[in-house]
Structure 1
Amino acid sequence: MGTSFLFTKGELNVSQRPNVLLILNDDMGYSDIGCYGGEVSTPNLDRLAANGLRFSQFYNTARCSPTRASLLTGLHPHQTGVGILVDDDGPEGYAGNLNQRGVTIAEVLKAQDYHTYMSGKWHVATDIFNPNDTWPRQRGFDRYYGIITGAADYYQPVTLTRDNDNAEHEALADDFYLTDAISDDAVRNIRDHAAANPDQPFFHYVAYTAPHWPLHAPEEDIAKYKGRFDEGWDVLREKRLKRLVEQGLLDPSLALSERDPSQPAWEDADVKEWRLRRMEVYAAQIDRMDQGIGRILQALENTGQLDNTLILFLADNGGCAEELDEPFTSFLKKRRSLLERAKDGSPIVYGNNPRELPGSQRTYQSYGVAWANLSNTPFRLYKHWIHEGGISTPLIAHWPAGIGEQGGIRHSPGQLTDIMATVLEVTGAPYPQTYQGRDILPFEGESLAPLFKAESDDRGRGPLFWEHEGNSAVRTGPWKLVRNYPEAWELYDIEADRTELNDLAADYPDKVRELSGLYEQWAARAGVVPREKILEIYSKARGEDISGGAHFIQK
C-alpha cells in the first residue's frame, strides 16, 4: 500500500497512501474568509490554514461548470465538453456534458482501490433529471448525495439525488438546509468508511453550493453579522487589503482597484437596511459552510484519519455580480424548475426586491455588484471575467503527515488542472492512457506537491491559459495578457500590478504578439471556438440575442 511519494515531518514517515478530501465552494470571492482577510467568521478554515499552507496566486476558470469539469479531470474545460455551462451551446467542447475524453479523479483513484465519495453540487450534466453517463455514480463515485443542477433553493432544492435516485422528498423536512445536508452526508461517509474499510484510503469530493444565490440562511447565523458590514463597501475594501498585506498574502505595494464605476459610494447608497441584509445573509451562508467543515474535521479526528488526509479547499470562481432582475429571473424560470411556493405555502418572490429582506425561503435574491466588488478585494471584475477578480481563489492545503510547515504561504501560481497532477503524485496513482477501451487525453496540470515542502522561485511553471465567453487570458512569468470580450487585449506586469490598473499593451507590442500567439496555439489545441461563432450558433438554436460578453451581467 506504499507509494514512491514520501514526506517526513519530524520522525513521521509518510509511507501509506493518503486520503484526499477536496472541498469546493460556490461563487465566493478571494477575500471573504478570515484567513484571506475577510470579515466572515471561518474558524475551521482558519485552523486548516494555520496548520497548513495558503496559496496566494491560485486560479479557477471564472464559472461554475467549467471549473468543476477542469477540477475533476485535470483538463481545460473545453476539452471536457463544458466550455461554457451545461447548456448545449454548439460544437464539441460546448455540449454542456462531461465527455468521455478524460477521466475523473474518482475514476483514477477507484482503479487504485480507493473508495470514492461525493457530497454536493455536480453541475456538469445537461440532463439533470435522468441518470446518464455524465452523472457522479457513472463517473467513478461509489456514493453520491447532492444536487445535479447548479443553483438551488437551500430549503427545498430540485434535483436532490442519492446515488442515481431522486431524493427531493428528503428536503420536505422542516429543518432541511442544503449546506447542512451536504456536511452531514460527508460526515456519515467518513465514519462509515473508517468502520468498514479501515485499511483502504478514500477520496471525498465535497462541493458546497454556499454562498451561491439565492440568499438563504438560518436566522441565527444571519443575526451574527448584524452590524458587521455597516461601514460599507468602500471602507471595508480598504481594510481587507490591509489585512491581506498584513497576513503576507499580497505585496504592500499593491494598489487597490477602484470601486466598480456602476456602483455608488456607500455614503450615497439608498435602502441601506436591505443592502446590508444581503451581505449579512451571504456571510451567514459561508459561516454555515464553515460550521459543517468543522464537523467533517471532527469526524476525521474521531476516526484517526486527519493526519494522513490531504485536504484542499478552494472556490469555483470569483464573487458573483449577477443581479437577479426581471430578465434574469425570467431566464431562470424558463431554464430551471423553480418552486412557486415555500414549504409554509407562501409564494416565493423572485428577484432583488428592496421591499423584501432576503434569508427565508420565500425570497430568491443575490447580493449584487457592490458586495461582489468587496468579495473580490483588491481585484477587478467578477465571475465570468478572466481579470483577477473572476479567477482568483483561496487555496488551502492541509496534511499533517505530509506538510511540515504550519501557516506557510506559497506565492507560486497555479490553476485547477494542477489538482489532478497533485493528487496523482501524492497517492502514487498512475494516469491511464486508455480507460474502458477509449483513448484518454493527457492531463494538463503540474503538481503542487513540491510546494508542500518549500516555496520554489525556479519552479518553471508553464503558461496558464483561460477562456470563458470570449473573455481570455494567458499568463507566463510576470506577464498576463487578458481581454474583456469583445475589447482589445490588455497587458499587465502581474507581479508589480496584480490589480491590473496599468495596461502596458501599447508599450510592449512585441510582448502582446508573443503572448497572443501562445494563446491562439493553446486555444486551437484545447478546442476553444471563437466567441462570434458560439453566439451565432446559440442565437440560431434558441432564437435569442446574447451578443456581447457575459450573460445578463452589468458591465
Structure 2
Amino acid sequence: MILFADDLGYSDIGCYGGEIETPNLDRLASEGLRFTQFMNCSKCAPSRVALLTGLYPIEGGCNGPPAQMVNGMTIAEVLKTAGYQTWMTGKWHAKENPVKRGFDRYYGSLKGGSNYFEPKGDFMEGDKPIKPVTAENRDTFYTTDVYTNEALKFLEEHKEGESPFLLYVSYNAPHYPLQAWPEDIAKYRRKYLKGWDAIKEERFKRQLELGIVKPGWKNSQRDPDVPAWEDFDRKDDADLTMAVYAAMVDRLDWNVGRLLAKLEEIGVSENTVVLFFSDNGACAEGAMWDGVTARNKPDTRNSQAKLGKEWANACNTPYRKFKRYMYNGGQLTPFIVRWPEGISEVNRITHEPAHIVDLAPTLYSLAGADYPEGQKWEVPHEKGLLKDWTVQPLSGTNMLPMLKGEPAEEGKYYFGHFQAGRMIMKDGWKLVSDGHDGTVQHLYDFPWELYEMDTDATESHDLAAQYPEKVAQMDRDYRAWIDRADRLTGVKSHEWYQPRFTDEQRRVADELADDREMKRLLKERKRIGLKIVEELEAMKLGMKTVLGMAKVPMSYFGIVEAGRKYASKSRSLDTLYRAWDEKVRESERFCSQKGEIYAEVWAIQERIRIRLPADEAD
C-alpha cells in the first residue's frame, strides 16, 4: 500500500518534528522504519514518473509538465504479471489513463491540483469520466476523504485467499488551494501566532531530540525573501493560512488511520508493506493571502489560497528552499516503511540515502516479479501518444537490504533535474545548482555548489571552491548522464534546460563572450533594442513584459521579439526592426565564419536571449 502525499513539508508530521497532530503516521513510524535522506524529484509530475517506472523523470519522458511515461513499465503493469490486483485512487498527473497503464481499478483526478470540496474536470472512475460531486454528497465531499473511501471499498472487496494487491492512494493534500473542514481549521486557529521563526526553531529542536537531524547540523537560515515574524503586519491572516494547512495535514493523517485499521480488519496487516512519503517539499509557489482578494481568503470553501514562502520555509525545516528546487528543502521527504514480517527492528531511523526511483525495483523484489528489460512493451493506444518502446534498465536499486539494516550501496549515483535546477550525489557528496525560477531562461549555467551530506545536509557550507577537481569530475558525470537521458527521449536539455552546454560548447560560449567583434555587435543590438523598447512603451500597447512565476522584468531581447507584430504601425519602429534584424544576421555570419560549433552555440543563445530576465541581458 503506497500512501503518497502532495507538497508535504519535511517537518510537518509529528514523527519528523512537526507540531501538527499526526497520531496515525507517528504510529506507522513507531512500527516501522523512518528514512531521513529519502529523495524525491522536487515536483509533482516528475516524482510520479519516478515512482511508477523506476526511471528518472527525464529518462521516462517527463521534463516537468505531465507527460506520457515512456521507456519503461509502471509498477502496476509489472506487478500484474506476478499475479497482483492493482488499484489506485487519487491524483494521477500523467497523460495516460491509469487503467491503460496497468491499474485494474481507478477513481480520481487525472489533473494535478484541484479543489477539495468542488473539483471540476478530468475526474474518472476507471476510464469513464464522472462528475464526482452530486446533490447527495455535496455536503460531505472532500477529496482526501473520498479518495480514502474509494480505497476502503477496494480493500473491503478483497477476499481472503485472493491474489495479493497493490493499492496506490495518491492524495492531493496538502497541495494548494488551501481548503479544509471548518472543524479541522478551528483545532489549529491561533496556534501559529507565535510565527514562522518560532515554529522553525521549535521543529528543529524536536528533530534533534528525535534523531531526525544529526548533532552538529545547523538549521537553515530564514529564506532571504521571508520577513522576520516581528516585522510582519498581518499576523492573524498568516495564522489562519497555516491553520488551514495544518488542518489539511491533520485530515490526511486521520484518513491514513482509516486505511491502517482496514488492513487489520481484513487480516492482511502483518503481510502488507505500507509506504508513506511525499512528491516534493512544501510549496512556495504564489503568495499568501494579501488580505484583499476575497477568493484567496484561506477559510472559504472555494478559496485559492496558497502557503507562501513564509510558511513553506518553516515547513521544510531544517532544509533550504522549496518544491521545484534540487536543494534538500525541495527533494527530501519523510519516508516511512512498515513491514511487520520483514523489518525486525522497529521504530528505527536511518540516515542512509535512498531515492524514489529505488521503490520500483524494491517492490519487484518483494513481489517476485520479473522486469522485462530490453523487451518491447506495447500499451493501449491513446490519441497523440506512443504505443510501444523498448524497456530500459531501471535507474533505481533494490532497497530490501537497507530495510533490514544494511548500509547503502557505495559508489551509487543519484541524479536530479528539473528545468533550471540540477543535482548529482555520490558517496555523501552532493553537487547542486540553484536554477531560481525554472520557468525563466538563463544564458549561462548557474554555478555548481558542493556539500558534504554527512556533516552538512542542511547545505550551509559550499565547498566547491575547496574541491575544484571533485566538482569537475561530478560535473562530467552529470553531463554524461543527461546526454544518455536525452538520447532516450529526444529532448535537447542542453538547449532548454541546465546544463545548457557541453564542455566544448561552454568553452566556445566563454570565447564568444570575450570576443571584441561579438561585443561590438551585441552593443549595437542593445542600442537599437532599447530604442525599440522606448517606441513600444510610447505606444501604450499594454504588452506583457514580465517572465515566469516570479514575474521578473523581461529583457529588451524579449520585448523586441514580443513587439515585432507592431512594427508596421510606425515607420520609425519598422526602420528600427530592420536595423535590429541586420545586426542579427551580421552576428550569425560572424559566428558561421568562425566554425560550425560557434554557429551552434550562437543559435542556442539566440533562443535563450528572448527569455532572459532584464538583469541578465548584458
Which of 392, 402, 423 aligns to 2:363? It is 423
SS of the aligned residue for 1:429 comes to coil
The 1:545/1:464 distance shift into structure 2, 3 A limit, reads farther
Distance, in Å, in 2 between the alignment partners of 1:396 and 1:249 is: 12
Alignment partner, residue 170 of structure 2: 207
Alignment partner, residue 157 of structure 2: 192
Alignment partner, residue 43 of structure 2: 63
Using the TM superposition, give the Cα deviation of residue 400 of structure 1 relative to its aligned residue in structure 2, in angstroms.
Answer: 0.7
Distance, in Å, in 2 between the alignment partners of 1:284 and 1:551 is: 28
Comparing 523-532 and 364-373, the one that deviates more: 523-532
SS of the aligned residue for 2:10 comes to coil
Q: How many percent identity over aligned positions?
A: 40
Alpha-carbon contact 1:321-1:553 (below 8 Å) kept? no
Alpha-carbon contact 1:388-1:498 (below 8 Å) kept? yes
Which of 416, 421, 424 aligns to 1:471? It is 421
Alignment partner, residue 267 of structure 1: 230
Matched, 1:82 2:41: no
Alignment partner, residue 390 of structure 2: 439
Which of 512, 516, 519 aligns to 2:471? It is 512
Deviations 1:327-351, CA, capped at 9 Å, x for gaps? xxxxxxxxxxxxxxxxxxxxxxx98
Using the TM superposition, give the Cα deviation of residue 304 of structure 1 relative to its aligned residue in structure 2, in angstroms.
Answer: 0.2
The 1:553/1:519 distance shift into structure 2, 3 A limit, reads farther
Unaligned runs of 5+ in 1: 1-20, 87-95, 126-133, 326-349, 538-542
The 1:223/1:385 distance shift into structure 2, 3 A limit, reads same
Alignment partner, residue 259 of structure 2: 296
Unaligned runs of 5+ in 2: 379-387, 436-444, 501-542, 554-612, 614-618
Q: How does 1:75-114 map to 2 (within 5 A)?
A: 75-86=55-66, 96-99=67-70, 101-114=71-84
Could you tell me the TM-score, scaled by structure 2's length?
Answer: 0.75
Please, what is the CA RMSD of the aligned residues? Answer: 2.3
Distance, in Å, in 2 between the alignment partners of 1:50 and 1:43 is: 10
Which of 404, 428, 453 aligns to 1:453? It is 404
Distance, in Å, in 2 between the alignment partners of 1:546 and 1:206 is: 38
| Letter in structure 2 aligned against 1:290 | D
The 1:552/1:161 distance shift into structure 2, 3 A limit, reads farther
Alignment partner, residue 13 of structure 2: 33
Using the TM superposition, give the Cα deviation of residue 362 of structure 1 relative to its aligned residue in structure 2, in angstroms.
Answer: 3.3
SS of the aligned residue for 1:411 comes to strand
Using the TM superposition, give the Cα deviation of residue 533 of structure 1 relative to its aligned residue in structure 2, in angstroms.
Answer: 2.4
SS of the aligned residue for 2:273 comes to strand
Using the TM superposition, give the Cα deviation of residue 199 of structure 1 relative to its aligned residue in structure 2, in angstroms.
Answer: 2.7
Alignment partner, residue 209 of structure 2: 246
Alignment partner, residue 508 of structure 2: none
Distance, in Å, in 1 between the alignment partners of 2:320 and 2:403 is: 29
Using the TM superposition, give the Cα deviation of residue 544 of structure 1 relative to its aligned residue in structure 2, in angstroms.
Answer: 8.8
Deviations 1:94-119, CA, capped at 9 Å, x for gaps? xx2223x2100000001111000001
Q: How does 1:331-480 map to 2 (within 5 A)?
A: 353=292, 357-433=297-373, 434=375, 435-436=377-378, 438-456=389-407, 459-460=409-410, 462-480=412-430
Using the TM superposition, give the Cα deviation of residue 52 of structure 1 relative to its aligned residue in structure 2, in angstroms.
Answer: 0.3
The 1:552/1:529 distance shift into structure 2, 3 A limit, reads farther
Which protein shows a greater Rg? 2
SS of the aligned residue for 1:279 comes to helix
The 1:534/1:248 distance shift into structure 2, 3 A limit, reads closer
Alpha-carbon contact 2:313-2:320 (below 8 Å) kept? yes
Using the TM superposition, give the Cα deviation of residue 412 of structure 1 relative to its aligned residue in structure 2, in angstroms.
Answer: 0.9
Which of 293, 311, 316 aligns to 2:279? It is 316
Alpha-carbon contact 1:411-1:455 (below 8 Å) kept? no
| Letter in structure 2 aligned against 1:232 | G
The 1:352/1:33 distance shift into structure 2, 3 A limit, reads farther
Deviations 1:313-365, CA, capped at 9 Å, x for gaps? 1000011001158xxxxxxxxxxxxxxxxxxxxxxxx9874766313223211
Using the TM superposition, give the Cα deviation of residue 546 of structure 1 relative to its aligned residue in structure 2, in angstroms.
Answer: 8.2
Comparing 494-503 and 307-316, the one that deviates more: 494-503
Deviations 1:144-178, CA, capped at 9 Å, x for gaps? 00100001010111222111112224355221111
Alignment partner, residue 521 of structure 1: 480
The 1:531/1:388 distance shift into structure 2, 3 A limit, reads farther
Distance, in Å, in 1 between the alignment partners of 2:415 and 2:547 is: 24
Alpha-carbon contact 1:352-1:364 (below 8 Å) kept? no
Distance, in Å, in 2 between the alignment partners of 1:166 and 1:35 is: 38
Distance, in Å, in 2 between the alignment partners of 1:376 and 1:424 is: 31
Alpha-carbon contact 1:323-1:352 (below 8 Å) kept? no
| Letter in structure 1 aligned against 2:257 | G
Distance, in Å, in 1 between the alignment partners of 2:134 and 2:175 is: 18
Distance, in Å, in 1 between the alignment partners of 2:114 and 2:276 is: 22
Distance, in Å, in 1 between the alignment partners of 2:97 and 2:315 is: 32
Q: How does 1:157-176 map to 2 (within 5 A)?
A: 157-158=119-120, 159-170=122-133, 173-176=138-141
Distance, in Å, in 2 between the alignment partners of 1:82 and 1:309 is: 31
| Letter in structure 1 aligned against 2:366 | V
Alpha-carbon contact 1:322-1:552 (below 8 Å) kept? no
Using the TM superposition, give the Cα deviation of residue 545 of structure 1 relative to its aligned residue in structure 2, in angstroms.
Answer: 8.2
